[in-house]
Structure formats: C-alpha cells, structure tokens
Structure 1
Amino acid sequence: MTTEYGGERRSTGSSTIALLYAARTARGLADGFAAIVLPAYLVELGYSPFQVGVVATGALLGTAILTLTVGWLGSYRPLRALLLAGALIMVLTGVGFATLDSFLLLVILAFVGTINPSSGDIGIFVPLEHAMLASDVEDERRTLIFARYSLVGGLSSAVGALLATAPDLFVSFDVPRLTALKVMFLIYAGLGLVGAGLYRLLPDTRPAANEQASRSALGPSRGIVYRLAALFSVDAFAGGFAVQSLVALWLFERFEMSISAASLFFFWSNTLAAFSYPVAARLSRRFGLINTMVFTHIPSSICLIVASVVPDLTAVLALLSIRAALSQMDVPTRTSYVMAVVTPEERPAAASMTAVPRSLASSVSPVLAGAMLSTAFSGLPLLICGSLKVAYDVALLLSFRHIKPPEENRSISDPKSSITRARST
C-alpha cells in the first residue's frame, strides 16, 4: 500500500503505530545491552578508558551525520525504504563488532554504524519513526503517543540492560569471556534483522507531490527549529559526559562493580526512566510541555552533581536512580513539542535538525570524559554534565515559555502566544 504524508492523505494507523512500537522494542533491547557490553568488550581487548571514549565519540559523531542525511531524505524519499536501510546498517554493525578487534577499525565501524553508547534513543531511525508517528495523530493525543513510544523503548532498554549479564552466564559454562562478549554483538545483529522484518510490513509512505517539488526541507518553522537545535545541542554536549557506557565504566573503575551488578542496576534505572514517560504526558497536560521538560530536568541534574562527589556506592546508586526517574521526562515532551511547532511536511527534517546537533555536540564530550575518568577526581564528568544541564534548562525556559503548541493555545485566548505569531518573529 502506498500512502502520503504532509498532504491530505495520511499514513499512520493503529497497525503502523504497533509496528513502529515493536521495532522500537527490538532496537531498545539491542541498545540496552550494547551500551554496557561495549566498554567491557573494549577493556577486555586491552583498550584504555580514553580509547573507550574515542569509540563513543566516533559512534555519536557518525550518528549525527547519518541522522542529518536521513532527515533530509525523509522529506523526499519513502520512509519505509530508509528504515530498512537503517536496519541493514544495524545488522552489519553487530557483525562487525563481533569480528573486528583493531582499534582503528572499531572506531571506523562505530562512526558508520548504529552502535549507541548512550541510554537515549538517538540515531538514524529517530526522525523517520517520529515523522510516521506524528503524521496522523490529533494534537491532544500526540504527546501520549510519543510517551507510549518512549515507554516501550525505555522498558525494552531496561530488559536489554539485564541481558548484559549473559556474558557472565556464558563464562560460567567455560566460554571464553571475549567470545561471550562477541556473541552479544551477534545478538545485536539478529535484533537488527527483526527490525528489518517489522519495517518491511509498514505502508510505503511517500512524500506528497508538493513536498517533492520543494527545494527546502524546512520552511516557515526554520527559525524555531534552529533555536531549539542550538539549545538541544547544549543539553546533548552535557549528556555526553555521562552516557551510559561511561557511567558503567565509572562504576567499574571507581567501585569495582561487576558487569552483572551494573546490568542489574541499569535494568532498574532504565525501568524507572521508562515509567516516567507516561507520567510526563500527564504532567504536560496540566503544566505544559516546556514546564514539564524544565522542572523535572533540573532536580535530576542536581542528583548527578551530588553523585559525582559522594564516596558511598549505595548513595551513588540511589542518586542515579532518582536521576533516572526524572531525567528522561523531557524525551516524549521534547519530541511532541518539536512536532507541534512545525508544519507536517517539515517534520522529518525538523526531527533530524534537532537530533543532529544533539549527536554532534554529544560526540565531543565522551572523549573528554574518558580522559577525566583517569584523573584523581573521576567524578568530574558527572559534575560537568549536571551543571551544564541546569544552565540549559534555564535557557530553554526563558527562550520558549511563550511559544505554545496548538493544544495549549486552544486554552489561551491571548493571540500573542500563538505559534503562527511566534514563527513570524
């Protein structure tokens, strides 16, 4: 079936949403254990924390470039074909990590592949799936749809983190540890195949004719998108100091946690993050999208700052758990806000343009964090991350508190708060 988006004909029905949720589940499982297995695998190969940071930086930098490309192509090419191409890259990434051990080749593979060193949903799939989800959803249901999408991803990532205990299980059956870690990357490739099968069932969603003739993927919302992208890049740069792979490595190095113990912790922290998504949707209906993003984010950043200086492992894990329960509430609200303040035909490009600076900015900080982990104060990356995120939240509130999405505008009579007026400025 061939459908259109951005025009009168729309593509997203309940079956399409279910398929996208299922594909997000497969990716979440893969990302959940890959973020923990990756640093353990690199350390097992004999690489230093700094080199682990280099691989993480390569992964995030390559993700940014690929995301920008597919976001632009998503305004002109069938979304299903682009999602299938992404799934193929995921398969090749898993096979590559399972078979290569040269540091240079691993950095190149991280750059061109889909490996995700963070706990968040980033990568080439994001703008395409977001555009399909938003294409046929009422304004009042948009945040809820994205909250459920994030919930599915968060829960699957939590289960994936728990699966990172599998190498220890394999070792107990006399499988060499390095081999056990390589098997996990083959499982990663297998989940890429599952995703490809699900994407194959999606409708052949194509841009409307007027979009194909457009010279620019972004139109009247360009100014808002660029301003959001600039602020999101600050948040992402901060987050790069505490991506999940590096937090896991910090726990390994500072507190001598085992990979099984770390996996169990990240299972619960990711579970807490997952259940925060529907809570965020409820809060946003009462307090607004921007307020929900800001006033849940700031306390989580304070928890991270305190965790960086606390010497007790139990207290650190408690603070990181509180942070996990709060820090991801901005994910569905942020996505919903971006989709709300642009026109339908701009959505793939807007999702890409706001995601790419995040990946670019976050690609710089892991290598810096990796070097800091070897210093006397190994908690410095967490301290920097939390401090920068507080500054980002304040800037976001001051810059966008008056630009309301349609569902919030309908309850406000002041025309000065309309998105149309905001775009014109």
Structure 2
Amino acid sequence: MIRLRNLSRFLPRLDRDGKIIIVASAIRTLDYGFLSVFLGVYLSLLNFTALQAGMVFSGIMAGSALSNLLASWRGDAIGRRRLLVGLSVLMVMGGLLFPWTSSVWVLMLIGLFAVTTSSGGDRTAFISMDTAILAQTCEPSQRTLAFSWYNLVSIFTKATGALLVSVPILLQSWAGMEEIASFKAMFAVYAVFALCGIALYGKLSPNVEPPAQSVGKNRIGGSSADRKLIIKMTAVSSLDAFGGGFIARGFISYWFVTRFGVDVVSVSAVFFAAQMLNVVSVALAAPVASRIGLVNTMAWSQAVANLLFIAMAFASNLWMAILFFFLHEVSNEMDVPTRQSYTMAIVPQESRTAMATLNNLGRNAAQVISPTIGGFVAQVAFLGAPFLAGAGVKLVYNYMLYRMFKEIKAPEESEEIASETSGD
C-alpha cells in the first residue's frame, strides 16, 4: 500500500501565499471555463454573425491586453496584492453588466474592462501576477511541479465551469424561464464567483511583493541580457497567441453549434471531457520536461496539437471532429506549465514581473485582431478555415521557439547537465 508520505513527492512544497494563489486561480478559472463556452452559445442566441461574435471576442482579448499593460507599467508600484484585488472588482462588474445589452459595440466595450477571457485560457494580468508570485513561493527544483499543479487544479474547475453551460436548460424546465432570460441569469452566478477573488487576494502577505530595490526600475527588465530575453520570448509568444486567436474556445463552441447543430447540453459535455483530457497533458508536463527539457516539451507538444487542429477543419462528421478535438486536448496544455516555469527561470526575481506581464501583453495584443480576422475568413471561405490559419501560424511559432531557445537552459537544467558532465 502506498503511504501518504510517499505521495508528497508529487505535491509542490508551497508557502501560504502559494496556496492562496492556486485556490484563487481555481475559482477564477471556474468562471472562465464557463464563460469561454457559454459566450459563444449566448451570442448565437442573440443571432450574432461569425464576424460580430469575433468582434466581441476581440474586445475581450483587448481588455486582457489592457490589464497586462497596466500591470507591466505600474503593477509593482501599485502592489501585486492591491492590483489583484482591483482586477477582481472589475471582473465582478463585467459579470453584472454583460446581460444588459445586445449591442455588439457595447459588449465589446464591457469586454474591454471586464478582465475576462473568451479563449478558455487566462491571458489577463491575473495570470501574469500569479506567475510572478508563485515562482517565489517555492524552491527552484519545485517550480515546474508548482506550475503543473497550478494548472491542474484550474483545469478541473474550468471543466466544472464548462458544465454550468447546461444550467440554463434546467432553469427553463424547472423554473419556467424563457431561453434568453435563463442565459442572462447565469452572468449573476459568474459575478458571485468573481467576488471570491476579492476575498482571497486580500489575504496575501507582503512577501508576494517584488524586492524593494526593483520597484520603479525599467519596466522591460533589469540588465541588457534580461531585456533581450524578455523581448525575444515576447516576440515568439505573440506569434503563438496570434495563431491561437483564430481558434479561441468561444469560436470552437460556435463552430460546433453552427457546423453540426450541436445542442447546448452536448457542447457542455464535449468541453467538460476536453478539460479532463487536459489533465493528462498538464500532468505529463513536469515528468516529460525533466527528461527532454522545458523548451523541447513546449515546442513538440504544441506541434502535435496544431496538426490535429488542421485535421479537425476537414472533419466530415461530428464524431470525427470530436475525436480530433479530444486528441488535440491531450497534447495542447503540456506547454503551459513548462512555459510559465521556463520564463520565470531564465530571468532573476526582479525581472519576473516584466517577463510575465510583457509576455502576456504581447500575447494579448496579438490576439486582439485575430478573432475578427478569423470570423471574416470563416464567412468568405468556409467555417473551418480559421483552424487552418491558426494552426499554420502556430507551427511557425513552434519552429522559431525551438531554434531561438534550445540552447538557453533553466538554471536547474544547466546544473543537471554540469553534474552529468563532471560525473563522466
């Protein structure tokens, strides 16, 4: 029988702040998992075209970029704890305002300040601050494992959030609510969960703040070498995000509903299963990275996922589309904890906020326009065309990431190589 103490090696050793960060992220991604699927269905009920839906998604992504711009410019000066609480307040307000309009322009404006997501993945300043804080709540040897658990827990709550998309059906049958009213009511549930972020982030200790001497320094990082690394990583990450914007979670749910006539309950079930498959992907990240390295894990896992998206575009029936989508999800998330760990590893502590926020800011900026372009491409070509465009761009990113960073190792990887060399 495996003893509990033997299981502890699979758990990261975090301080109290690290645990708060993981719990707060889990609750937030419950909301994000719900909205990323729900919003595409909701917009289809409002009779939005693919272009109009893409415009709303672009507004939300622009809001994510705006939050990261604020965090990179004044995040450390404002204070990480105070900024996270403020972002949570904006998230609550967004949930309360979304159901009050059906204007595409007003929804875009709300999305700009709601600090939320339409892609399923968190690209807001929340994750930038979480990343910088979590990296300093554990030892370097525990960092990749800590980020794996950060994402694993969030995947479970994101999957649970996807299941909430079926709640409006229950409200219609049990409470006799009209279809559109039942969907609007769910935004209140979203706002209630967002309130939890205010309470949790308010409990963070002063230890989450950056070193005092780094506050007020150049926001692009410390030394010249650090700035070069940050700029290079931001550039390649932006290319990845630009491709990902074509195939945001909201568009995928829209694609399933429009292409195959899938009902709301079935869409919810598909995305719940996909999130469970993401668990496999994230759980494999740390052990795979320990064997082949962080950069190899990021590049090759994503290459496989992108080829599967290309196959998905040509799926002739629903079951084939679901199969390719599920296979994609097994590989797709492996790069997330490895990228978070790698970007925090290759710069010193005082440059971590700059690396995290500018990396995500670049990703946000790149994603602002691609959903709208994707919606236009879907209308003038065919509905699956955004899968081809997005996957093609992301494959170029995979190649560039590998070429540019394969020789830049995380400190613990360099130490391991040096140890093996001296042992020979």
| Same fold (TM > 0.5) | yes
Paired with 1:115 and 1:209, the residues of 2 have a C-alpha distance of 30
Structure in which a larger fraction of residues adopt helix: 2
Residue of structure 2 in register with 1:8 after alignment: none
Percent of aligned pairs with the same residue? 31
Runs of 4+ displaced beyond 3 Å: 204-207
SS at match of 1:270: helix
Match of 2:340 among 294, 315, 335: 335
Which residue is equivalent to 2:159? 158
- Displacement after TM superposition at 1:305 (Å): 0.3
Superposed displacement of residue 286, structure 1: 0.8
Q: Which residue identity is paired with 2:397?
A: Y
Cα deviation for residue 229 of structure 1 reads 0.6
Paired residues of 2:15 and 2:137 also in contact (CA < 8 A): no
C-alpha displacement of 1:375 = 3.9
Tell me what 1:188 maps to: 190
Q: How does 1:78-157 map to 2 (within 5 A)?
A: 78-157=79-158
CA deviation profile, 1:209-231 (whole Å, cap 9, x unmatched): 31235344511211011011110
Match of 2:379, SS state, is coil
Residue correspondence of structure 1 range 346-425 to structure 2 within 5 A? 346-375=351-380, 377-413=382-418
Tell me if the contact between 1:98 and 1:182 (Cα under 8 Å) persists in the aligned partners.
Answer: yes
Aligned pairs, number: 403
Q: Equivalents in 1 of 2:314, 2:66: separation in Å?
A: 35
For residues 216 and 316 of structure 1, do their structure 2 counterparts lie closer, same or farther at Cα, with a shift above 3 Å needed?
closer
Could you tell me which amino acid in structure 1 is paired with residue 283 of structure 2? P
Q: Note if contact 2:159-2:275 (Cα within 8 Å) is conserved in structure 1.
A: yes
Counterpart-to-counterpart distance in 2, 1:126 and 1:115: 11
Say which of 184, 209, 213 aligns to 1:210: 213
| Alpha-carbon distance in 1 for matches of 2:403, 2:199 | 44
Deviation at residue 170 of structure 1 after TM alignment = 1.2
Residue 75 of structure 1 contacts residue 349 of structure 1 at CA under 8 Å; is this kept in 2? no
Q: Secondary structure at the match of 2:416?
A: coil
2:6 corresponds to:
none
Question: What is the CA–CA distance in structure 1 between the aligned matches of 2:413 and 2:82, rounded to whole Å?
Answer: 35
Q: How does 1:319-334 map to 2 (within 5 A)?
A: 319-334=324-339
Gaps in structure 1 of 5+ consecutive residues? 1-11, 415-425
Alignment partner, residue 10 of structure 2: none
Distance 2:262 2:148 in 1: 32
* 1:47 match: secondary structure: coil
Given that 1:77 and 1:207 are in contact with CA atoms closer than 8 Å, whether structure 2 keeps it comes out as no
Deviation at 1:98, TM superposition (A): 2.3
How far apart, in 2, do the equivalents of 1:213 and 1:91 lie? 30
| Cα distance in 2, alignment partners of residues 383 and 313 from structure 1 | 18
Per mean C-alpha deviation after superposition, the further-off stretch among 202-211 and 323-332 is 202-211
TM-score under structure 2 normalisation? 0.92
Alignment of 1:230-379 (within 5 A): 230-375=235-380, 377-379=382-384
- CA contact 1:76–1:207 (8 Å) conserved in 2: no
- What does residue range 8-87 of structure 1 map to in structure 2 within 5 Å? 13-87=14-88
Structure 2 unaligned blocks of 5 or more? 1-12, 420-424
